[in-house]
A = this chain, B = another copy of it.
């Protein structure tokens, strides 16, 4: 579909020209397809017919279209490696921003995973510390800073992960980067030296799987059981590296048992393989103390530990870190000898001070309470509204749950019906690699940005959407 946005201030002619060009380049509009008449398109988009004609003629001149006299305009034949690469994936291409904004308006309650409640972001303190750091070190802002991240921040991270997660490391092992996906991208080049196959939980976090896939790795799916990844299946695979989320498996919510942990570590030691431990929401366990990380259990296993500050603190910070085992440090140093850091100096210093002065610990304690309440409220509401019509997975931790709905409805129906009531819930299918193993009856609900009243309302609407 073509669309025109009159707010963004770009000429209508230009918008139209680009959208059509894009649809042709992408293969969405195939060769010899007939375009709508300029009259019809002008009508549909509520723009002038002259504008449409102008765009059509420009595209003709450039060879994207051809015209037949008295019949109209048709898509021309384009060839070469850049044409029609991903015809299936093009609908969101040019008018990405426009469709996004429409989507937002459509929903009253958005169970988006990863969006936080801004009321609990320590903005005032952050601002105070940021200005302090800025004023104290104006001259430092002109240099690139430490490539691996500022040493002061790395020392704070070392203390924090040891205390909270039982992770044992030195600051030399810590690499600070602009988000988990960025750090994982750096790790990919290290992994490339050892293996071309990486095992991955299935279902597993679609975003991190995409990073491995994009970097050219063969991603080998391994089943997830109620206590974590199936280590036997892993051992039977060719993989010499595996990505896992032991503290709260994404998206099943499984917590890896200690026996699984030991099996997994034993596998890593035996095969001299690499474990990528993504501890993405380790802080948020609502009934018991967080279980210590894999990384701290055996110094003999090569565990790369991932942590981040987005979910508990502020997604827009773009600060995450990975902790390399000593065995990979040299490869890291060799590959990244000349790289600059990807995180602004000021943000690193502000975060360092935020941790040093105790705000980080205080913040973690606070959000634990906040999200625990939201979690309880969601669980309670779901039980009240649905009783045994649904099965809930991943309770007592993190910022999302998944629910399997016992009805004839499939994932897409569930999402669409919820949307009809102004509630946005999310598919689980994109986190499956072997999609045929998925029952297609489960949706994901992230509850961190909604308040208690909104959660209750939204769940009531879900009940109506799915069972009335």
Interface on A for B, CB 8 Å cutoff? 8-10, 14, 18, 21-22, 25-26, 62, 80-83, 85-86, 89-90, 92-94, 96-97, 114-118, 121, 123, 127, 130-131, 134-135, 138-146, 148, 151, 155, 170, 172, 178-179, 181-182, 185, 189, 192-194, 206-207, 210-211, 214-216, 272, 299, 302, 310, 314-318, 325-331, 333-347, 430, 449
Contacts and interface: CB of A to CB of B under 8 A. Distances in A.
B90 A330 contact: yes
Given A178-B342, A339-B181, A345-B316, A333 B143 contact: no
Given A8-B151, A342-B318, A335 B210 contact: yes
Contact of A141 (B144, B316, B430): B316
23 contacts: A9-B155, A10-B170, A25-B330, A86-B334, A92-B333, A94-B172, A97-B146, A115-B142, A116-B142, A121-B141, A130-B134, A141-B316, A143-B315, A178-B178, A178-B182, A178-B342, A178-B343, A181-B339, A181-B340, A182-B342, A189-B214, A214-B335, A318-B344
Contacts of A121: 138, 141-142
A115 B131 contact: no
A342 B179 contact: yes
A275 to B, nearest CB: 13
Given A89-B330, A316-B140, A338 B116 contact: no
Contacts of A10: 170
Contact of A192 (B83, B216, B316, B333): B216
B210 A337 contact: yes
Contacts of A329: 22, 25-26, 93-94
Nearest to A210: B338
A172 to B, nearest CB: 6
A123 to B, nearest CB: 5
Contacts of A302: 82
A447 to B, nearest CB: 14
B131 A338 contact: no
A86 B170 contact: no
A248 to B, nearest CB: 19
